[in-house]
Amino acid sequence: MSTAFSGYKRRVARILEKAGAEIGDVIQITRENDVIEGILIPRSGSNDAKHVTVKLSNGYNIGVRITPKTKIKKVGTGPKPAFTRPPLPKQSMDLPKVVIVSTGGTISSRVDYRTGGVRPALTANDLYSVVPELSEIAVVDTDVISNLFSENVTVKHWRKMAAVIAKHIKKGLAGIVVAHGTDTMGYSAAALSFALQNLPVPVIVVGSQRSADRPSSDAATNLIGAVRAAAYAPFAEVAVAMHETASDETIIFHRGTKTRKCHTSRRDAFRSINTSPLARMKNGQIEMLLESYRKRGAYSKLILKPNFNEKVALIKFHPSIDPNIIEWYVSESYKGIILEGTGLGHVGRYCFSKIRDAIKNSIVVGMTSQCLWGRISMNVYNQGRDLLALGVIPLDDMLPETALVKLMWILGQTDDVEEAKSLLSMNLADEFSRRTRIGETA
Amino acid sequence: MTSIYSEIGLKAGLEVHQQLDSRTKLFCRCRSKLFSGDPIITFMRQLRPTQSELGQVDPAALFEFRKGVRIIYEANDESSCLVEMDEEPPHPLNREATEIALTVALMMKAKLVDELHIMRKAVLDGSNTTGFQRTCVVATDGEIDLKGKIVPIQHISLEEDAARKMEEADSIVRYRIDRLGIPLLEVATAPVIHSPQEAQETALAIGQVLRATGKAKRGLGTIRQDINISIRDGALVEIKGVQELELVSKIIELEAQRQLGLLEIREELERRRAKEKDFKDDFRDVSAIFQHTECKIIREALDQDKRVFAVRLPKFADLLGRELVSRTRLGSEMADIAHFWGRVGGLFHTDELPAYGITNEEINKIRQHLEAESLDAIVFVADNLRNAKDALKAVIRRAREALKTVPEETRGARVDGTTRYLRPRPGAARMYPETDVPSFRLSADRVEKLSGCIPELPKVRISRLVEDYGLNTKLAKQMVDSEYASLFPMIVKESAVSATVVAVALTETIKALKRDGVDVERISDTQLRDLFILIGSGRLAKEAIPEVLTWLAEHEDDEGEEAIEALGLAMLSRKELEIAVEEIVRENTKLVEDRRMGAAGILMGLAMKRLRGRVEAKQVGELVKKQLKKLVG
């Protein structure tokens, strides 16, 4: 049998092989003083190599320890699991067209009936079968460009996402949905915000916090909200769509440059920081929450600028940080550093000389705050004023991650340090807010 | 009795669910405590059916989802965290609860599983925020000794209890998640029980073992039985949520009777040559017939722009109205099914008409309209088109089933032992692995340690109660069966009240009060302990126990002191008692003159009646005799 697939290893794999038992077969395990019968179930990677997992007739799985005296016999062929797709819903061709660009993550997965785990839903029909409501909202097409846990997404993938989205937009459609793992979804949304300029249609980046293998998953609700926004929303921006609260009541849309994952597990893990969310969807209706936004159809031609420079670092300052870290980046020919400083935008004076060296070596250095909420202000204390004098660029209320992505993108467009500095301070994709609103807080 | 049941081929199996009294919940570290009052947070969810390991979607689950049910959950901070909200992955399996489960398994001589796998059992009614119940088999192949007969135990599992349903209206269900996640031990017997009596005894025996651990939770709803019942030619029917042990045998009797009744209906339909193909989803709008109806229900429906739809059930006349068991007719079964599938409030069938303001004339018109023959029955509902169609489709399905067999279904128990249709039985493929909690091995060390400290079995315990506490065997048995078994030795020790007095109070007195409608479940352990301490210290008479317990049941936050005050039960001092006795004797001088010392019995009775609860009988007796002697010499 294909032991590699089943998760069985070494001696247990050999015993099963000898018995001619495959996943799904009914096997009988005879030991010193008992006999156990059940369906052979695959072992997950983290399980040890000394037990066999069987499903008892009551549906429960148990692990049976295999000793040298254990005998295994195949006594029957169990039902072979098969994915039976529910009948596909009728598709009305009059509806707006939406392309779902799938990069991986929980959102674009369906249950793997063999392991109980999840695997990607590859085609529009897969998606329709899992979320039939989509067919009543839009004519959906899918483009699977990768199947990655989002922590494995790199600059290379941002470039590809941007290029693929641009290709689809040029062919003409109502909107794009990007299915993405939530861990680095904020970074990707920021990247797309800079790489896709003059967007004629919305690009909705969507994830889910609870896997699709549970009936309570937020995947379907989020996806439905994202597709609806892609098809009908009045804005044409890159936005992240997720639950607004613990309820399946509303979907909230965060501006791609102003959002961040702020909770490890909650459905409403994403927050708009230093701004209001862009829009909210309730009962299928979209309500704009910001007065000023880029409107659908304001531009007819998309400008694609998909290049990023990876030689940019994000350094979080902490007490007793070793300033030589900065020197290492200089020696590795980095082009930019975003500092995540304390409070209003400070780092310890013991870092100053290394920062001076970095700037002398033509590295663009920007300052953000690890407080996340609020605006930096480097004129209040001497420490801040001295950093400004060194040439550190204050980045106002920009999120540290967005600042990193922005500088990567800038240095992907230009080698000119002065131009890069001036672009970094310029508001390109609403990464800065002019006002800090009352009540804007964590 | 047994022979009747063996004749009809009765087979029953029990699943006993017992809440465990562990410090925290099964998959998080919240307190296992229910709350009253307002929740601090509510949230709304919808559950979506997923495919099972075998790639199937449960049709009933899919249907529930399409109904668009919205579930509102209520929580407070003490009893729930993000885990119950399904906003955080489960923490590792509670060690204490696991050890209680393993202990029970060892007591039932079951084989412990080598490696525990947590499973998800799909549950889409909203009672679990995740849409599944986490459950795990800890042992298989155990046994329970029933006076010499061995009842095999198929498996012992540890699972999380579900949320509490608070309210259900139209398409909104409200649950409270405080109960969700409380460890629940499930003990499932093989379907080898052949009489109602035997089932009851088995349930009792399992309960005794569970209580012997001293870690079983107590009170209403902490132990629940599910019963699987079938008879020959009948079907496997699962009856859920039986809270009273006393009901087990009655439920089985009634279910066997219900299935027999359905089989008789099948025979009658055969005699009448009813054919499956004659049952059609041919629903007719008969609203016009009711234009001037006197029937309030239909009148109101029509006023709300609903319509009346009818369907013909060939050869069903008199069968819908035939009583299967009390409160249960095929007609009422169909009404429950129509409610489940079609959300309709109820249905009308010709067997029960004319009634509810529906006239013979209206019935005849419907019969004509549907071209019904005299042996045909007609079912109709008043609702919108979609609901009415779903409801009548379900009625036709049920009628077709009646020709063939007793349908497998899940039923809910009512307090009188009758049951009602809840939902179709879930498919077999509703279990899949819980990937968020890794499987784990039971180490030999751990098992050995547990084996070394297994609690006494009930038999041993009874004889020890007789020897150590001087209880008679009957009382000792009652004490072991009691929910208060683990509290008993503690009370005896700390209060120094006679063990027999404590045992009688905890068994017979409490049972009697419960019978009289006192909500004894509300009396806390602390209240009980405090009560006996007062008795032990001579501040309260043992005769006052029933009265104080009744009061405490209504005053959850108060203790014995408050009861004494409120009930005026403070013990009389020797002096006060003497005065009281003197007074009684004085009031009855004639009696004393007539009977002399023979008046003691009557006087004693009068005194106890007046002073009951505030004096010890022994002391009254002494004083009455003393007074009499003084008077009569």
Instruction: Convert the pLDDT of each residue in B429-479 to its tens digit.
Output: 678 888 889 898 988 888 899 988 888 888 888 888 999 999 999 999 888
Q: Does B464 share its domain with B390?
A: no
Q: Residue A95 above 80 pLDDT?
A: yes
Chain B CB contacts of A30 under 8 Å are none
Q: Residue A110 above 70 pLDDT?
A: no
Extract the runs of DSSP E, i.e. beta strands, from A256-371. 259-261, 270-272, 279-282, 285-288, 303-304, 312-316, 336-341, 364-369
Neighbours of B551 (CB within 10 A): 20
CA dihedral B519, B523, B529, B534 (to 10 degrees): -70
Mutate to test the interface with B, among A55, A56, A62 (most CBs of B within 10 A): A62
Q: Does A347 share its domain with A290?
A: no
Q: Would you state the structure tokens that stand for residue B140, as one six-digit string?
A: 């298989």
Q: Does B555 share its domain with B592?
A: no
Q: Which residue has the tokens 């067209």?
A: A97
Q: How far is CA A69 from the centre of its chain?
A: 49
Who wins on pLDDT, A106 or B103? B103
CA distance A213 to chain B (A): 6
Q: Which residue has the tokens 């994403």?
A: A270
Residue A436 falls inside a structural domain: no
Cβ contacts below 8 Å, chain A against chain B, sum to: 144
Q: Does A164 share its domain with A279?
A: yes
Residue A251 falls inside a structural domain: yes
What percent of chain B lies above the pLDDT cut of 70? 97
Q: Does B580 share its domain with B554?
A: no
Rounded to whole angstroms, the Cα distance separating B425 from B71 reads 22
Rounded to whole angstroms, the Cα distance separating B279 from B226 reads 34
Q: Domain limits at A179?
A: 97-304
Asked if A64 lies within 8 A of B115 by C-beta distance, the reply is: yes
Q: Does A33 share its domain with A8?
A: yes
Q: Does B499 share its domain with B412?
A: no
Asked if A214 lies within 8 A of B428 by C-beta distance, the reply is: no
**Beta pairing class for B440-441 and A61-65:** unpaired
pLDDT tens string B594-610: 888 888 888 888 888 88
Least confident of A108-117, A146-155, B340-349: A108-117
Q: Residue A2 above 50 pLDDT?
A: no
Asked if A215 lies within 8 A of B86 by C-beta distance, the reply is: no
Of residues A258, A261, A406, A421, which has the active-site annotation? A261
Select the residue of B44, B57, B61 nearest A249 (Cβ to Cβ): B44
Q: Which whole number is the average pLDDT over B399-411?
A: 93
Q: Residue A194 above 80 pLDDT?
A: yes
Residue B70: partners with Cβ closer than 8 Å, 6 or more residues away:
B44, B45, B46, B171, B172, B173
Residue B93 falls inside a structural domain: yes
CA distance A51 to chain B (A): 8
Q: Residue B53 above 60 pLDDT?
A: no
Residue A204 falls inside a structural domain: yes
Q: Would you state the structure tokens that stand for residue B570, as one six-digit string?
A: 């403070």
Residues A296 and A201: beta-carbon distance below 8 Å: yes
pLDDT, position B557: 79
Residue A440 falls inside a structural domain: no
Q: Does A288 share its domain with A316?
A: no
Of residues A53, A142, A182, A184, which has the active-site annotation? A182
Residue B251 falls inside a structural domain: no
Chain B CB contacts of A111 under 8 Å are 50-51, 432
| Residues of chain A by 3-state class (helix, strand, coil), percent to 5 | 30, 25, 45
Residue B532 falls inside a structural domain: yes
Q: Residue A430 above 90 pLDDT?
A: yes
Q: Does B587 share its domain with B550?
A: no
Helices (H), B311-457: 330-342, 360-369, 385-404, 444-451
pLDDT, position B247: 92
Q: Residue B428 above 80 pLDDT?
A: no
Q: Is A9 a catalytic residue?
A: no
Chain A CB contacts of B51 under 8 Å are 83-84, 110-111, 113
Q: Does B201 share its domain with B63?
A: yes
Q: Does B520 share its domain with B558?
A: yes
Q: Does A151 share its domain with A66?
A: no
E strand or H helix at A76: strand A71-77
Helices (H), B440-544: 444-451, 458-469, 473-481, 488-495, 499-504, 510-515, 525-536
The strand pairing partners of B20, in sequence order, are B216
pLDDT tens string B176-218: 999 999 999 999 999 999 999 999 999 999 998 998 898 999 8
pLDDT tens string B228-283: 999 999 999 999 989 888 899 999 999 999 999 999 999 999 999 999 999 999 99
CATH number at residue B338: 3.30.1360.30
Q: Does B54 share its domain with B145?
A: yes
Q: Does B333 share its domain with B462?
A: no
Q: What is the 3-state secondary structure (H, E, C) of B525-548?
A: HHHHHHHHHHHHCCCCCHHHHHHH
Concatenated DSSP letters of A267-298: TT-EEE-SS--SEEEETTEEEE--SS-PBTTS
Residues A220 and B47: beta-carbon distance below 8 Å: no
Q: Does A257 share its domain with A141?
A: yes
pLDDT, position A1: 44
Of residues A103, A106, A184, A259, which has the active-site annotation? A106
Residues A378 and A385: beta-carbon distance below 8 Å: yes
Select the residue of A51, A83, A267 nearest B115 (Cβ to Cβ): A51
pLDDT tens string A223-270: 999 999 999 999 999 999 999 999 999 999 999 999 999 999 999 999
CA distance B531 to chain A (A): 46
Residue A92 falls inside a structural domain: no
**Beta pairing class for B348-349 and B377-383:** antiparallel
Chain B CB contacts of A113 under 8 Å are 51-55
The strand pairing partners of B119, in sequence order, are B135, B433
Who wins on pLDDT, A95 or A133? A95
Rounded to whole angstroms, the Cα distance separating A252 from A271 reads 9
Burial class (CB within 10 angstroms; exposed 0-12, middle 13-18, buried 19+) of B53:
buried
Asked if A63 lies within 8 A of B114 by C-beta distance, the reply is: yes
pLDDT, position B522: 84
Q: Is A115 a catalytic residue?
A: no
Rounded to whole angstroms, the Cα distance separating B592 from A392 reads 112
Select the residue of B87, B135, B433 nearest A246 (Cβ to Cβ): B87
Asked if A216 lies within 8 A of B432 by C-beta distance, the reply is: no
Asked if A213 lies within 8 A of B50 by C-beta distance, the reply is: yes
pLDDT, position A44: 75
Asked if B87 lies within 8 A of A265 by C-beta distance, the reply is: yes
Q: Residue A442 above 70 pLDDT?
A: no
Chain B CB contacts of A58 under 8 Å are 137, 154-155, 188
Who wins on pLDDT, A133 or A363? A363
Chain B CB contacts of A216 under 8 Å are 45, 47, 86, 129-131
Q: Does B88 share its domain with B219?
A: yes
Chain B CB contacts of A213 under 8 Å are 50, 432, 435
**Beta pairing class for B172-176 and A393-394:** unpaired
Rounded to whole angstroms, the Cα distance separating B328 from B342 reads 20
Chain B CB contacts of A84 under 8 Å are 51, 55-56
A-chain residue closest to B435, CA distance: A117
Q: Which residue has the tokens 């077709």?
A: B400
Closest CA to A205 of A179, A172, A170: A179
E strand or H helix at B103: helix B95-107
Q: Which whole number is the average pLDDT over B68-72?
A: 89
Select the residue of A53, A209, A247 nearest B45 (Cβ to Cβ): A247
What is the complex's ipTM, to 2 decimals? 0.92
Q: Which whole number is the average pLDDT over B396-421?
A: 93
Q: Does A14 share its domain with A108?
A: no
Chain A CB contacts of B56 under 8 Å are 84
Residue A165 falls inside a structural domain: yes
Q: What sign for the dihedral angle of Cα B34, B35, B41, B44?
A: positive
Neighbours of B72 (CB within 10 A): 18
Neighbours of B587 (CB within 10 A): 11
Banded pLDDT at B75 (limits 50, 70, 90): very high
Residue B431 falls inside a structural domain: no
B-chain residue closest to A35, CA distance: B141
Residue A442 falls inside a structural domain: no
Among residues B523, B547, B567, the one where a domain terminates is B567
Banded pLDDT at B15 (limits 50, 70, 90): very high
Banded pLDDT at A3 (limits 50, 70, 90): very low
Residue B322 falls inside a structural domain: yes
Mutate to test the interface with B, among A64, A214, A262, A283 (most CBs of B within 10 A): A214
Q: Does A238 share its domain with A378?
A: no
Chain A CB contacts of B115 under 8 Å are 51, 53, 62-65
Residue B174 falls inside a structural domain: yes
Q: Does A114 share its domain with A211?
A: yes
CA distance A31 to chain B (A): 12
Banded pLDDT at B2 (limits 50, 70, 90): low
Q: What sign for the dihedral angle of Cα B604, B607, B612, B618?
A: negative
Q: Does A171 share its domain with A263?
A: yes
Q: Is A316 a catalytic residue?
A: no
- The number of domains in chain A is 3
Q: Domain limits at B620?
A: 574-632
The strand pairing partners of B313, in sequence order, are B377
CA distance A44 to chain B (A): 9
Residues B549 and B524: beta-carbon distance below 8 Å: no
CA distance A209 to chain B (A): 8
Asked if A114 lies within 8 A of B82 by C-beta distance, the reply is: no
Q: Is A368 a catalytic residue?
A: no
Who wins on pLDDT, A432 or B33? A432
Q: Does B560 share its domain with B583?
A: no
pLDDT, position A68: 85
Residue B533 falls inside a structural domain: yes
pLDDT tens string B501-549: 999 999 999 999 988 988 888 888 888 999 999 888 888 888 889 988 9
Residue A435 falls inside a structural domain: no
CA distance B47 to chain A (A): 5
Residues A160 and A145: beta-carbon distance below 8 Å: yes
**In whole numbers, what is the pLDDT of chain A averaged over residues?**
91
Least confident of A234-248, B41-55, B298-312, B453-467: B41-55
What percent of chain B lies above the pLDDT cut of 90? 61
CA dihedral B513, B519, B524, B525 (to 10 degrees): 30
Closest CA to A239 of A254, A260, A223: A254
Q: Does B532 share its domain with B598?
A: no
Residue B241 falls inside a structural domain: no
Rounded to whole angstroms, the Cα distance separating B198 from B5 reads 11
- The number of domains in chain B is 4
Asked if A220 lies within 8 A of B52 by C-beta distance, the reply is: no
Closest CA to B185 of B156, B151, B212: B156
Estimate the crossing angle of helix B560-567 against helix B525-536, to 10 degrees: 70
CA distance A271 to chain B (A): 16
CATH number at residue A398: 3.40.50.40
Q: Residue B59 above 70 pLDDT?
A: no
Q: Would you state the structure tokens that stand for residue B210, as one six-digit string?
A: 């569970």
Neighbours of B115 (CB within 10 A): 19
pLDDT tens string B351-368: 999 999 999 999 999 999
Q: Which whole number is the average pLDDT over A131-141?
A: 89
pLDDT, position A4: 45
Banded pLDDT at A9 (limits 50, 70, 90): confident
